């Protein structure tokens, strides 16, 4: 046994015991003839003391220890004279009788403590050292706890965890595939799954009516801040269910996770909002409902007084930033520049300030009387001290811009406390999305999503307006402005699936080539089924009160999709290239 106790375990009650600890030297300092060492393992930090008057050999070893040396130390637990209330072991220290150096360490490139002095790139390169730091240990411990809660809950509900293959054929989630060349099948490629979607549906056909898997998925997308090329989903599917059954089951899972992993009670039942209401009121299909500041349409109110910008707009909408009337000219100019950034894309920003002295000031004073401005303020329930921000343009685009502005103002006003949780379901998504550019419909979710039964009549219509009206039997789980998961009731009837491919402009040959296996399977008694998947990395980050998922993944990739620690991706040698029948077109 290398140790009798961990570095996080000893308390005053252990006073007088002789113990052996093992761990890493975080810090060593000499003070008044004594050497003090902070010894760390994943359970905590314990202070070791070596008296200068002790055995000279022991003193010599103690003084030779560098940062991150791995040692084993035996000694007696003493009450500390100067206690450290910040750590659980802060009332005791170990008076060391014996030190055994288990391994030396070269000097680490950054400090391995709660807050490190190392920059992000350096820490990524030495991820195994960064992982020794408590914040990352806490993140991975939370991830582990959540995974256990998920398994316990789903097992209790009769779900079976079944693995599906990684070397497959393209899946229909709409991103680019990562591909793997096949040596045994020259010129042919596997695709890595963007999700196990088709396999879990085949498992339903196979009769495994409650399936889940905590599974890696791969999508070759340009990486935005919190995306990873490989990420983990809690992937689930159920047979003989309707939307209501799926929502109830997974609300239950979320409730157990919140309760048992972070001690939070979420509402029962969870709120539900239609996609249309989410867009109209929050300008987002993943609304953050921790705060109000809802979007109001004021198109009719502002048109017809000769302000051509508003007169020619399809839609004019506004939000009320409460208490922001003191925004200076400079701050308003800055905000105007902010909404004009390509990430937001607005053409300009109109404001109405309800000054503390009762007067109203607006960037469009010229066109509107104070009474007219007051009427707009009343429509937004704005009061003295508030600031109304107005955008205009095409309806959905402008709502989305207002949604982005709302989140920004929510951040600026401190309305988005990461430790407050406001989950909800978004339902009634449109089934199809028209792309002007490509002149065709795309599936908003994926092509296996069923239309709502009451909208089937429009689904079989040839009119674009009818097809645009069809709602999907789909749902998203949203938390604090992030989509944590989504899914749908699936099409389980081969004819309806054929119609879907037709609507999406996927011809019979292409459908057969890409999805023949599932179309065939559906001819053999496919049960009604549906499911969903949660993004597990993001679930972990949000439960941990963080925005970025990287800390919750042991070995993540950077924004260029690189693992800088193992230096991948990298070239392969010519022999491997030849074996795989590959030729590179990259110019050296
Ligand atoms: N496969 C879907 C996704 O990855 C989730 C689902 O429909 O179950 O988004």
**Whole-number pLDDT of residue 226:** 79
- What is the residue-wise DSSP string for 410-467? HHHTT---TTS--EEEEE--BSEEEETTTTEEEESS-TTBPBPGGGHHHHT---HHHH
Beta strands in 118-161 (DSSP E): 160-161
Q: 260-265: long-range contacts at Cβ-Cβ below 8 A with a sequence spacing of 24 or more?
A: 260/145, 260/149, 261/142, 261/145, 261/146, 261/149, 261/543, 262/142, 262/543, 264/421
Q: What pLDDT score was predicted for residue 588? A: 73
Nearest atom in ligand 1 to 233's CA: 4
Residue 42 DSSP label: T
Evaluate: CB of 531 within 6 angstroms of ligand 1.
yes
Nearest to 371 by CA among 349, 362, 391, 311: 362
Contact, 37 vs 62, CB < 8 A?
A: yes
- Ligand 1 neighbour 197 (Cβ under 6 A): yes
Distance from Cα 398 to the centre of ligand 1, integer Å: 28
Find the DSSP H helices in 157-222.
197-205
Q: What is the CA radius of gyration of the chain?
A: 30
* Range 291-412: architecture per CATH: 2-Layer Sandwich (3.30)
Residue 532 burial by CB count (10 A; 0-12/13-18/19+): exposed, middle or buried? buried
Q: What's the CA-to-centroid distance between 431 and ligand 1, angstroms? A: 14
220 lines ligand 1 (CB under 6 A): no
Show the 3-state SS of 451-513.
ECHHHHHHHCCCCHHHHHHCEECEEEEEECCEEEEEEEEECCCHHHHHHHHHHCCCCHHHHHH
Spacing, Cα 173 to ligand 1 middle (Å) = 7
Q: State if residue 456 touches ligand 1 by the CB under 6 angstroms criterion.
A: no
Comparing CA positions, the residue from 541, 464, 522, 508 lying closest to residue 198 is: 522
Strand ranges (E), 332-398: 350-354, 360-362, 387-393
475 Cβ contact partners less than 8 Å away, ≥ 6 residues apart: 243, 246, 247, 425, 426, 427, 429, 486, 487, 488, 532
Tens-place pLDDT, residues 243-273: 999 999 999 999 999 999 999 999 999 999 9
Sequence-ordered strand ranges (E) for 84-146: 92-103
d(Cα 401, Cα 409) in Å, to the nearest integer? 12
pLDDT of residue 578: 95
423 and 479 in contact (C-beta within 8 Å)?
yes
Q: How far is CA 443 from CA 10, 206, 271, 279, in A?
A: 58, 26, 25, 18
Q: What CA–CA distance (Å, rounded) separates 424 from 483?
A: 10
Supply the pLDDT for residue 222: 83
CA of 476 relative to ligand 1 center, distance in Å: 10
Nearest 5 degrees, angle CA 251-CA 210-CA 501?
90
Task: Provide the pLDDT for residue 225.
Answer: 66
Distant-in-sequence contacts of 15-20, Cβ < 8 A, 24+ apart = 15/77, 15/78, 15/79, 15/92, 16/76, 16/77, 17/76, 17/77, 18/74, 18/75, 18/76, 18/77, 18/97, 19/74, 19/75, 19/76, 19/77, 19/94, 20/72, 20/73, 20/74
Residues 549, 543: contact at Cβ < 8 Å?
no
Longest dimension (CA), the chain: 94
Chain centre distance of CA 121: 21
Q: How many CB atoms lie within 10 A of CB 542?
A: 21
Q: Are 519 and 498 in contact (CB under 8 A)?
A: yes
Q: How far is the CA of 440 from the centre of ligand 1 (A)?
A: 22
Q: Do residues 287 and 478 lie in contact, with contact meaning Cβ atoms separated by under 8 Å?
A: yes
Determine the topology of domain 137-273+422-553 in CATH: BirA Bifunctional Protein; domain 2 (3.30.930)
How far is the C-alpha of 83 from the C-alpha of 408, rounded, in Å? 44
Tell me which residues of the chain have a pLDDT lower than 50: none
Ligand 1 center to residue 54 CA distance, Å?
A: 65
Q: Are residues 255 and 266 in contact, defined by beta-carbon separation less than 8 angstroms?
A: yes
Q: Which of 563, 463, 527, 450 is nearest to 202 (CA)?
A: 527
Over residues 337-376, the pLDDT tens digits come to 999 999 999 999 999 999 999 999 999 999 999 999 999 9
Cβ of 486 less than 6 Å from ligand 1? yes
Cα 207 to Cα 202, 210, 352, 353, distances in angstroms: 9, 9, 61, 62
Q: Report the Cα 501 to chain-centroid distance in Å.
A: 31
CA of 486 to the centre of ligand 1 (A): 6
Residue pair 182/188 in contact by the 8 Å Cβ criterion:
yes
Q: In the chain, what is the straight-line distance between the N-terminal and C-terminal CA atoms, in Å?
A: 54
**440 phi and psi angles, rounded to 5 deg:** -150, 165
The model's pTM is 0.93
In the chain, what are the domain boundaries? 12-103, 137-273+422-553, 291-412
Angle between helices 508-521 and 494-503 (to 10 degrees): 150
- Closest CA to ligand 1's atom 4: 195
Q: Which of 201, 195, 229, 228 is nearest to 214 (CA)?
A: 195
Question: 389: which strand partners?
Answer: 319, 351
Architecture of domain 12-103: Beta Barrel (2.40)
CA 541, 542, 544 angle in degrees (round to 5)? Answer: 65
Residue 563 CB coordination number (10 Å) = 17
408 lines ligand 1 (CB under 6 A): no
């Amino acid at each position: 046994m290398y140790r009798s106790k961990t570095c996080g375990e000893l308390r005053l009650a252990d006073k007088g015991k002789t113990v052996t600890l093992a761990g890493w030297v975080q810090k060593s300092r000499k003070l008044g003839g004594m050497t003090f060492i902070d010894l760390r393992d994943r359970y905590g930090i314990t202070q070791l003391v070596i008296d200068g008057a002790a055995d000279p050999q022991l003193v010599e070893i103690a003084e030779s220890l560098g940062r991150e040396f791995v040692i084993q130390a035996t000694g007696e637990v003493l009450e500390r004279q100067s206690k450290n209330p910040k750590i659980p072991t802060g009332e005791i220290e170990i008076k060391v009788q014996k030190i055994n150096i288990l391994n030396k360490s070269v000097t680490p490139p950054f400090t391995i403590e709660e807050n490190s002095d190392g920059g992000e790139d350096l820490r990524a390169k030495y991820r195994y050292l960064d992982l020794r730091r408590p914040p990352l240990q806490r993140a991975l411990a939370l991830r582990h706890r959540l995974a256990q809660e998920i398994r316990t809950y789903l097992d209790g509900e009769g779900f079976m965890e079944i693995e599906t293959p990684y070397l497959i054929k393209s899946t229909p989630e709409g991103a680019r595939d990562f591909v793997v060349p096949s040596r045994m099948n020259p010129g042919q490629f596997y695709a890595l799954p963007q999700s196990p979607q088709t396999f879990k549906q085949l498992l339903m056909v196979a009769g495994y009516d409650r399936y889940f898997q905590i599974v890696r998925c791969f999508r070759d997308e340009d990486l935005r801040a919190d995306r990873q090329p490989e990420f983990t989903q809690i992937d689930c599917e159920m047979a003989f269910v309707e939307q209501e059954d799926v929502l109830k089951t997974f609300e239950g899972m979320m409730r157990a996770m919140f309760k048992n992993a972070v001690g939070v009670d979420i509402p029962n039942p969870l709120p539900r909002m239609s996609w249309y209401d989410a867009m109209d009121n929050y300008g987002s299909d993943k609304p953050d409902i921790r705060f109000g500041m809802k979007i109001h349409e004021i198109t009719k109110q502002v048109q017809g007084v000769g302000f051509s910008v508003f007169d020619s707009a399809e839609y004019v909408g506004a939000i009320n930033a409460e208490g922001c009337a003191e925004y200076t000219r400079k701050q308003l100019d800055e905000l105007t520049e902010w909404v004009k950034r390509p990430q937001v894309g607005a053409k300009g920003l109109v404001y109405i300030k309800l000054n503390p002295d009762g007067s109203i000031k607006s960037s469009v004073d010229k066109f509107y009387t104070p009474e007219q401005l007051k009427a707009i303020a009343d429509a937004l329930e704005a009061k003295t001290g508030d600031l109304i921000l107005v955008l205009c343009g095409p309806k959905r685009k402008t709502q989305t811009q207002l949604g982005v502005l709302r989140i920004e103002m929510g951040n600026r006003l401190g309305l988005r406390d990461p430790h407050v949780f406001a989950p909800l379901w978004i339902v009634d998504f449109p089934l199809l999305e028209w792309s002007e550019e490509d002149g065709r419909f795309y599936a908003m979710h994926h092509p296996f999503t069923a239309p709502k039964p009451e909208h089937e009549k429009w689904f079989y219509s040839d009119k674009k307006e009818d097809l645009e009206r069809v709602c999907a039997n789909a749902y998203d789980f949203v938390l604090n402005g992030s989509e944590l998961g989504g899914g749908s009731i699936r099409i389980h009837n081969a004819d309806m699936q054929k119609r879907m491919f037709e609507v999406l402009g996927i011809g019979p040959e292409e459908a057969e080539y890409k999805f023949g296996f599932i179309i065939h399977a559906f001819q053999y008694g496919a049960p009604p089924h549906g499911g969903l998947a949660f993004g597990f990395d993001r679930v972990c980050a949000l439960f941990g009160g963080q925005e970025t998922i990287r800390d919750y993944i042991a070995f993540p990739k950077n924004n260029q999709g690189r693992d800088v620690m193992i230096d991948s991706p990298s070239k392969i040698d010519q022999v491997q290239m030849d074996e795989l029948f590959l030729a590179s077109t990259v110019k050296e």
